[in-house]
Chain A
Amino acid sequence: MILMPAALLYVSLFVGRYPVSPLDVAHILIAQMFPIAPDWSKSAQIIVLQIRLPRAIMAMCIGAGLSISGAAYQGMFRNPLVSTDILGVTAASGFGAAVAILLSRNALEMQLIAFAFGLAGVMLTYALARVSQTTPVLMLVLSGIVVAAFFSACLSGTKYIADPDSKLPAITYWLLGSLNAASVKGLKLALPPIIVGSAGLLLVRWKLNVLAMGDEEARALGLRTEWIKGGIIVCTTLITAAAVSVCGMVGWVGLVIPHIGRMLVGPDHRALLPATLSIGACFLLVVDDIARTATAGEIPLGILTAVIGAPFFAYLLRKTRGSWQ
């Protein structure tokens, strides 16, 4: 569970267009903790520590965060087709990022604006879904569709008025998803919400089992369902908004990884949530390694996750014939 992501992280540091030997990578990493005489080039050190390491950590955190969020939402909504963007966070963040590009803000400002829009989008959904002090699941889903549609339209609007020579391509490429803008600064901004959100979800992991029995039964079992549901929404929204604000729209991770997790460890969220963290981290790290090494240029991340995720989900659907297992 921990060894696999760690091993993949190490591999990710020496694969890439600029060759750095595995041994040098080990030396560079050790040199950060113990003083040893450098026998590697300065540029190798910069590439490993300033470029590949932050990018790999970002990929792992985003993969893990999106996966645990997807698993929590699938449990809370009792629906296998739910993913993290169900409440409109992705569409809202995307719009925020497009606005930031339109206003020529720098990468960090864009990340902040996209994050803020994502939070605002989900708050809007939650407010819309509120019926006499409860938030029925169906109302949440429908409100999410409304909010996502609204922000998608706004996004199209920004594309329409964007300068087709400079801004429009920037928006379009950003939306396709990529981690090549990952930096140490960006990491410092994105990690806290992802870590806080994931920790929150891990804390209520057993309550998710009870919540999966349905709101009414969960209440009869003594759960304050509104508080717990609200808490889960806050956690997943922090994670997803942070993820989207860094790497654009990366679909399918939050949908597919929880299913793989359930195949491996079963439906109990006590085991499922930690498992999705590990599997999701490995998945997005490998996909990002492919994205940056497979061709001379970069393949957008969103394309790769969909190209891998969609056929895999189709296979799952055929194999399980629509049931949970």
Chain B
Amino acid sequence: MTPLIEVRGAAFRYGDRQVFTGLDLDVQRGEMLSILGPNGCGKSTLLRCIGGALTLNAGTVRLGQIDIAGLDAGARARRIGFLFQHHIPSFPFPVLEVVSMGRAPHLSLFGVPSSKDAQLAEEALERVGILHLKDRPYTEVSGGERQLVLLARTLVQQPDVILLDEPTSQLDFKNQALSLKIIGALAAQGVTMIMTTHDPNHALLFPGKVAMMKPGGVMLTGPASDVITDANLTATYGIDISVYTVPRRAGVGGVGADARDAGAGEIKLCSPW
């Protein structure tokens, strides 16, 4: 099966600094890929190149066999949703209005969202579990809820793939857990996602593939259990890290149906001890 996203021979440099070179990546439709690595290794840069916000110096990113370099902003936004690491809140727009902005790539230059678009926005809010916040100013909800608002906005774009750049790095423990559960639920529903994270524990939460990136852009790709090992983590992060396997309680994790379906089993945890 041809992958939905094919990255071939990707290279990028900022001025003289080569961030990565000769990178290959495949993501199948419905798959969740976590790009894992220490801060500064070039994960976010790679994600931006896949999203088309930055242009590769060499190599190609193909989405459904179309080279994304040839797409204009609107066509790209209809195929790729991007959740940014930092969001500086602006005006106190209502949550529903912010989510409706995800319809922008589907509207004409002077277009305004219709009631159908508002309906789609409400459905997206329902999917991330915060429909009750729809009339609140998005500047006044918690950081985790705001991240979910922005995630709902990418869902409303109805893209082929959603790129998440360190979606939890600005959040406290509770809000990290909330966001990760929602992302896990979307992954279980078959939403294609690529997420960057510096925390191997976050990558281990999801059943998808992991791409581990070292400074200099060397990459290991494969199922989480194959890639996230003591040896690879220690080599990548430069300090000793151990992976533990612990029993998982039934009915915990994910949200909604995903939580009920989750049977007893094993989960893996990483720790410097």
Contacts and interface: CB of A to CB of B under 8 A. Distances in A.
Given A204-B109, A204-B110, A216-B53, A267 B93 contact: yes
B139 interface: yes
Counting chain B residues whose Cβ lies within 8 A of the other chain, the interface size class is 35 or more
Interface stretch (A3-11, A12-20, A115-123, A217-225): A217-225
Contact of A220 (B53, B72, B75, B139): B53
Contact of B93 (A203, A220, A221, A268): A268
A210 B101 contact: yes
A77 B173 CA distance: 33
Nearest to B102: A221
A75 B91 contact: yes
Contact of A324 (B51, B92, B101, B110): B92
A268 B138 CA distance: 12
B246 interface: no
Counting chain A residues whose Cβ lies within 8 A of the other chain, the interface size class is 20 to 34
Contact of A209 (B84, B93, B105): B93
A253 B91 CA distance: 20
* Secondary structure of the B contact surface, majority rule: mixed
A325 interface: yes
B53 A221 contact: no
Nearest to A80: B91
A221 B92 contact: no
A217 B85 CA distance: 11
B73 interface: yes
B53 A207 contact: no
B159 to A, nearest CB: 10
Contacts of A210: 101, 104
A226 B119 CA distance: 30
B79 to A, nearest CB: 10
Contacts of A224: 72-74
A266 B97 CA distance: 12
Interface in A229-288: 262, 266-268, 270
Nearest to A225: B73
A286 B248 CA distance: 72
A266 B109 CA distance: 23
B112 interface: yes
A204 B109 CA distance: 7
A209 B92 contact: no
Given A210-B101, A222-B76, A223-B73, A216 B84 contact: yes
A201 to B, nearest CB: 11
A162 to B, nearest CB: 44
Interface string B189-212: 000000000000000000000000
A225 B74 CA distance: 11
B15 interface: no
B113 interface: yes
Contact of B101 (A204, A205, A219, A221): A221
B97 A268 contact: yes
Contacts of A212: 90-91, 93
Contact of B84 (A206, A220, A267): A220
Interface string B106-120: 000111110000000
A127 interface: no
A216 B44 CA distance: 14
A205 B98 CA distance: 15
A150 to B, nearest CB: 31
Given A212-B91, A221-B157, A324 B104 contact: no
A125 B177 CA distance: 47
Contacts of A266: 92
Contact of B112 (A213, A223, A270, A325): A270
B110 A217 contact: no
Interface of B: 51, 53, 72-78, 80-82, 84, 87-88, 90-94, 97-98, 101-102, 104-105, 109-113, 137, 139, 153, 157
28 contacts: A75-B91, A78-B88, A203-B109, A205-B112, A207-B104, A209-B97, A212-B90, A212-B93, A213-B87, A213-B98, A214-B88, A216-B84, A219-B53, A219-B73, A220-B51, A220-B53, A221-B104, A222-B74, A222-B76, A222-B78, A222-B105, A222-B157, A224-B72, A224-B73, A267-B92, A267-B93, A324-B92, A325-B137
Interface of A: 75, 78, 203-207, 209-210, 212-214, 216-217, 219-225, 262, 266-268, 270, 324-325
